[in-house]
């Protein structure tokens, strides 16, 4: 048995089967897939479809062990067995390798992070300061809460103490809803955070994005930039 510490991104294309064992179980039959082992310890299994979304994954902190196959696994044609174990939950992702087509590692260097539009960044700052805009009893836990696939704009708590992930856009489209969905899927795997609800907040939300968000149980909130800045005068309104 060999334990490996990943110092850079490793990209493997292999014929493999995948089994997930934990609170849920899932099986992917033998096929050619893209395997990504990232420097933060996360492991992702991709197919040729589905855009950015992996078929299965294990978020950090986790450990990867590479084992020799047993007799039955050898007879089935497997040459390596990868076992990825989640440190907090004990969930396991078992990747049975039959053939490695390509295996390469890449040093991506230091990630400067997402550079936000000036208004969008200011919206995040203002909403964190005035989180009660989302509802009575809301409180800000932190801004830029990091996940394995990027930072959530704001992690908050509602009046009942339930975690809320808030994604902020100037103009809210389908891509933003997909981004928040990805964060929620990962965060809801963390027993220290789950359950996590989602809020998609923007100055303007496109109808298609609103429909998709509502279908996924994500609440939409339209933000008034001037009101958040304290520049909105209710007495000057006609309605």
DSSP character for 155? E
Question: Could you give the C-alpha distances from 236 to 73, 204, 228, 232, 233, in angstroms and in order?
Answer: 75, 22, 16, 8, 6
- Number of C-alpha atoms within 13 angstroms, CB side, residue 140? 17
Ranking 36-45, 57-66, 108-117, 211-220 by mean pLDDT, the lowest is 108-117
Backbone angles phi, psi at 28, to 5 degrees: -115, 120
pTM here?
0.52
Provide the pLDDT confidence category of residue 72 given band limits of 50, 70 and 90: very high
Contacts 24+ apart (CB under 8 A), 26-29: 26/56, 28/55, 28/56
Query: Quick one: pLDDT at residue 181?
Result: 95
CATH number of 2-106: 2.70.180.20
What average pLDDT does the chain have?
87
Does residue 236 register a pLDDT over 50? no
Architecture per CATH, 118-228: 3-Layer(aba) Sandwich (3.40)
Q: Which of 2, 67, 4, 57 is nearest to 33 (CA)?
A: 57
131 and 111 in contact (C-beta within 8 Å)?
A: no
Q: Which of 37, 44, 76, 72 is nearest to 58 (CA)?
A: 44
Q: Which of 141, 149, 144, 153 is nearest to 193 (CA)?
A: 141
Query: Alpha-carbon distance 151 to 114, whole Å?
Result: 9
Q: What percentage of the chain has pLDDT greater than the value 70?
A: 88
Domain ranges of the chain: 2-106, 118-228
Does residue 231 register a pLDDT over 60? no
Across 95-122, average pLDDT: 79
């Amino acid at each position: 048995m060999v334990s490996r510490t990943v110092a850079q991104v490793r990209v493997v294309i292999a014929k493999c089967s995948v089994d997930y064992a934990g609170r849920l179980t899932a099986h992917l039959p033998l096929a050619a897939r893209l395997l990504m082992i990232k420097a933060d310890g996360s492991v992702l299994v991709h197919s040729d479809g589905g855009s950015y979304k992996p078929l299965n994954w294990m978020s950090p902190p986790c450990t990867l062990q590479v084992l020799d196959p047993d007799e039955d696994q050898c007879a089935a044609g497997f040459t390596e067995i990868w076992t990825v174990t989640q440190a907090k939950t004990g969930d396991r992702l078992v990747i049975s390798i039959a053939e490695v087509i390509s295996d390469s590692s890449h040093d991506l260097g230091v990630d400067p992070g997402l550079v936000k539009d000036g208004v969008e960044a200011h919206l995040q700052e203002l909403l964190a300061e005035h989180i009660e805009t989302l509802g009575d009893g809301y409180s800000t836990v932190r801004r830029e809460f990091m996940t394995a696939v990027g930072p959530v704009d704001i992690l908050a708590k509602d009046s009942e103490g339930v975690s809320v992930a808030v994604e902020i856009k100037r103009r809210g489209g389908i891509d933003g809803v997909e981004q928040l969905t990805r964060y929620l899927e990962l965060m809801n795997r963390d027993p220290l955070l789950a359950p996590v609800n989602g809020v998609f907040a923007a100055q303007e939300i496109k109808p298609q994005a609103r429909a998709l968000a509502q279908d996924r149980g994500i609440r939409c909130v339209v933000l008034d930039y001037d009101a958040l800045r304290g520049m909105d005068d209710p007495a000057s309104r006609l309605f």
